[in-house]
Amino acid sequence: MSRRLLLLQGHPDASASHLGHALAGAYAAGAQAGGHEVRLIRIAELDFPLLRSKEAWDTQAVPATLQPAQDSILWAEHIVLFFPLWLGGMPAVARGFLEQVLRPGFALARSGQGPMGARLLKGRSARIVVTMGMPALVYRWYFRAHSLKALERNILGFVGIAPVHETLVGLVESMSDAQRGRWLRRFENMGREGR
């Protein structure tokens, strides 16, 4: 069954030389081969300000440069967010993007419309793909994947996106060509299956 897939590339470096870019490309190629509709947003190529107050988050309009991103989120059935682990979490540009686009009235109900607010993005699923220099098991078990859990529960889950799956890709700096090839094939297959 064909799905509408939105890929969010959250690497702050817009050059295409990083593994995360290659993984997103493999996923997109597989998805298109599988008959899915695909849209890609490269967050680092967008020009938008950071939010600096709750009042701005509640009342200011979303920057015009991000309106197409909101349209794509509404269009999508499944969202795949790619980013490298930076200082234990997602890069600031990816976090700033989510803060801007997941606003009251779009992603959740405005204040005063219930204690937790309506989750307006229900009906969408997601996959989070995190690349990192350390072994993925160290991040998951020693560091308890705290930032990943916060993203799943406190951001995506809060606006109704569920289920959320994750793929952690560790040791990217020391990865052999054969290992890289296996990851690319794995992501191509995931894209083909639309998951």
Q: How buried is 105 (Cβ within 10 angstroms: 0-12 exposed, 13-18 middle, 19+ buried)?
A: exposed
What's the predicted TM-score (pTM) here?
Answer: 0.95
Residue 15 has what pLDDT? 83
Q: How far is CA 191 from CA 11, 58, 105, 141, 156, in A?
A: 19, 35, 31, 27, 21
Alpha helices, DSSP H, located in 85-138: 92-101, 136-137
Residue 115 has what pLDDT? 54
Measured CA to CA, the distance from residue 189 to residue 173 in angstroms comes to: 23
Task: Print burial letters for 164-179: b (CB count within 10 Å at least 16), e (below 16).
Answer: bebbbbbebeebeeee
| CB-based contacts of 168, cutoff 8 Å, min separation 6 | 130, 132, 136, 139, 140, 145, 148
Average pLDDT over residues 139-143: 93
Average pLDDT over residues 28-51: 97
Mean pLDDT of the chain: 94
Least Cα distance to 160 among 194, 118, 127 occurs for 118
Say if residues 42 and 7 touch (Cβ distance below 8 Å). Answer: no
Q: How confident is the model at residue 116 (pLDDT cuts 50, 70, 90)?
A: low
Res. 114: pLDDT tops 60:
no
Measured CA to CA, the distance from residue 73 to residue 95 in angstroms comes to: 16
Res. 105: pLDDT tops 80:
yes
Residue with tokens 């599988």, as numbered in its chain: 34
Tell which phi-psi region holds residue 114, choosing left (phi > 0), alpha (psi between -120 and 50) or beta: left
pLDDT single digits (tens) 73-97:
999 999 999 999 999 999 999 999 9
Res. 66: pLDDT tops 70:
yes
